[in-house]
A and B are shown apart, each in its own frame.
Chain A
């Protein structure tokens, strides 16, 4: 088999794992890792699942690797924080068949809550780590990863980044699927798999021995490559930074590391001895640099290469020019600052089921005012709204301004309770999506029940994991491979925790939402409101758009406070873009208009034709 394809890093990782014989793949969606599971789930001879969260995904993959099936578990960088407990456990017990853990980091924070360099996890867990520098390597390294995992009885960390995962490059697909030879089966081995202190103590020296053997293996790892150029400068690099550095230093010698933990010490020493000066070009932390410096080799890198954000050719070129490594490059074209351009942040979509609840919270919390009310002094905002991770975090943007915190998956509920216990007298509102609630919201809600919290928890149930591209979750009852399974009912779940004040309200009924929220804020009990409505991107039913009756409209601008992209204004007159409007499936603007000036489009036409 020999085919040339244009594949993203994520597709290449998935195809590589499939060809390497992965039988089980698990994940929780998270940018930039999501497509790995989506891609591998298409193969019928792989069991693929969306797990409720990354910790569970890691545990399922570990169980499979204990029981004789090669497993792949993928997640975004912060997912590995969630999964770090079983990850460390997996590093301690080791595996039976291969287990590969993919961490997709997000330098530059394109779609995350923080920036962190997960290469440190390899060192922390004392497990081997591989990093691809393009899709071809992403495809090839998977076979090595499973092989290393089995040879050294360890999970293997594959670390990718947004720019690798979400770039397409040419891949020569030269393998086909390895059919697993071993049958599923678990061999009881208490000393290996039952981490009682007495057993864990036995495993501990084995981990150190494993690391020594891995370091010896790293010396011969075929994807660590030296590319000799001129000898006055030697560049040690890995991942996408290699691609940038090749453009900045076209003449230099390169040591491209694909296995970045443990490091091939002799190879690095040999390379460094041949060149006059060694520099390390790497994204984020000085991980390679510090490890190489610890070997007593003189290298520089982070003295001039930024450690914050995503790198590119321009940044490395400019930094290297300042450091005297390359001729000063000509000044870059800079954005015409005389022309300040309006920003275009992402928005809640037209017909979004989150718009209504945020509008209600925004108006009850005095968070926004119509454009016409510009002169009036701003009111003191009321309510505290702790937020969470999902499309709905966009509710923090103007004009809704209806979110006050966003930390990590599930944090809204614990934070709300913490604020209450700190002495905030008004009822604190936590807002969390359905997928996020199932991921990390259940335990803090149980905690709030147990510790007698009086918060209001609003679950925004749009029946999907929308932000990462509409993956199913336990609440939808559809599996990652499109099979019907059992759906977890949110209201049964929360009632089962002992919460009696539980209300389910239609996401497109403003009056209904307002009443339920008001009742909840007035009640001294812990209450849960489930705001239910399908994600508009998934609604395919035809729907009649709304339009503005210009005779009735007095331009008050209240509809503009919804932040709906379909509501536009030209020359002071508000109008609705019919191509964008979600129409009868939504009607929120129609409900909030104080003058009943928003009507079905056909009514305007009918009136005009009379």
Chain B
């Protein structure tokens, strides 16, 4: 049984925690041992959020060691860069290319990194980086709040779980009125990665 260490990062309010919960529950349903943990900081919204999901035959530490992440799923590209040093050599990074500049950048006190800097930074460790504008895709599709399911769909192609396991786990965690929309966003993410997969 292979092990997978996933880091899901983003900004408070983007749905990082729900996405990582679903990965954990899907992996459990597929027979893996699972641990997942979130680092949230103190407020409801707007801060940097990171979630560790570990899947394997037997998992000890809930936190992934720096340099051992197999798959990074970043809902925001600055938040991808912040955690890049957690990637192992040869890791995969799936990055929403939409920028959410923090307040210090808006106020002109700090500078948001350029796309080139972000790619270079992640490229030190990641073998494959998928920059996808998940925010525009889901906005065009109908609801930007489904970004987490879209990103989940992207990530799902790199994990050996059957598609019905994913869909069951999603269905158990979203309200019945939102189910169809969320699964459609998940499918959209899968399609997106299939289109660009190297």
Contacts and interface: CB of A to CB of B under 8 A. Distances in A.
A395 to B, nearest CB: 12
Given A349-B45, A563-B103, A6 B62 contact: no
B150 interface: no
A332 B60 CA distance: 20
A607 interface: no
A341 B113 contact: yes
Given A167-B36, A167-B62, A6 B28 contact: yes
Given A342-B112, A349-B44, A467-B44, A313 B63 contact: yes
A307 interface: no
Contact of B78 (A312, A335, A342): A342
A343 B66 contact: no
Interface residues of A, number: 53
A276 interface: no
Interface string B73-87: 000001101101111
Q: Which of B46, B66, B109, B110 has the most chain A CB atoms inside 10 A of its CB? A: B46
Given A163-B37, A314-B65, A336-B85, A344 B42 contact: no
Contacts of A467: 42-44
A169 B62 contact: yes
B65 A313 contact: yes
A343 B42 contact: no
Contacts of B43: 346-349, 391, 394, 467
A391 B39 contact: no
Contact of A244 (B24, B48, B60, B111): B60
B37 A339 contact: no
A312 B106 contact: no
A345 B107 contact: no
B105 interface: yes
B61 interface: yes
Contact of B66 (A333, A344, A399): A333
Given A170-B28, A332-B67, A347 B42 contact: no
A371 B85 contact: no
Given A243-B60, A339-B121, A466-B44, A333 B28 contact: no
A110 B39 contact: yes
A6 B25 contact: yes
Contacts of A568: 101, 106
Q: Which of B35, B36, B62, B102 has the most chain A CB atoms inside 10 A of its CB? A: B62
A567 B106 contact: yes
A312 B65 CA distance: 7
A565 interface: yes
B107 A346 contact: no
Nearest to B111: A342
A4 B35 CA distance: 14
B147 to A, nearest CB: 11
Contact of A347 (B35, B36, B46, B112): B46
B144 interface: yes
Contact of A333 (B106, B125, B144): B125
A560 interface: yes
Given A6-B28, A342-B104, A567-B106, A170 B46 contact: no
Interface in B20-68: 21, 24-25, 28, 33-48, 59-63, 65-67
Nearest to A335: B85
Contacts of A168: 21, 24, 34-37
Nearest to A245: B60
Given A333-B125, A342-B110, A344-B11, A565 B60 contact: no
Contact of A344 (B48, B113, B117): B48
A134 to B, nearest CB: 8
Given A333-B66, A346-B46, A170 B110 contact: no
A579 interface: yes
A563 B104 CA distance: 9
Nearest to B20: A168
B63 to A, nearest CB: 5
A111 B41 contact: yes
B12 interface: yes
Contact of B61 (A312, A336, A563): A312
Contacts of A312: 61, 63, 65
A466 B42 CA distance: 11
A203 interface: no
Contacts of B106: 560, 567-569
Contacts of A4: 28
A313 B185 CA distance: 36
Contact of B104 (A244, A314, A343, A349): A343
Nearest to B33: A170
Q: Which of A247, A344, A345, A579 has the most chain B CB atoms inside 10 A of its CB? A: A344
B180 interface: no
A451 B151 CA distance: 59
Contacts of B37: 163, 166-168
Contacts of A96: none
A347 B28 contact: no
B108 interface: yes
Given A335-B85, A342-B110, A569-B106, A111 B40 contact: yes
B105 A110 contact: no
Nearest to B113: A339
Given A167-B62, A168-B34, A336-B124, A346 B28 contact: no
Contact of A391 (B33, B44, B59, B110): B44
A128 to B, nearest CB: 26
B12 A346 contact: yes
A346 B48 CA distance: 7
Interface string A70-103: 0000000000000000000000000000000000
B45 A247 contact: no
A110 B65 contact: no
A603 to B, nearest CB: 23
A51 interface: no
A394 B41 CA distance: 12
B46 A565 contact: yes
A10 interface: no
A313 B24 contact: no
Contacts of A335: 82, 84-85
A512 interface: no
Interface string A553-565: 0000000100101
Nearest to A568: B106
B67 to A, nearest CB: 4
B47 A247 contact: no
A34 interface: no
A43 B5 CA distance: 35
Given A170-B34, A339-B81, A348-B43, 4 more contacts: A166-B40, A336-B84, A344-B79, A398-B104
21 contacts: A6-B24, A6-B34, A110-B39, A168-B21, A168-B35, A243-B61, A246-B60, A247-B60, A332-B66, A332-B67, A334-B85, A335-B84, A336-B124, A341-B113, A344-B102, A345-B47, A346-B12, A347-B46, A349-B46, A467-B42, A560-B107
> Sorted from nearest, which 9 A-B pairs have the closest CB atoms?
A346-B43, A346-B47, A342-B110, A167-B62, A167-B37, A347-B46, A344-B102, A333-B67, A111-B42
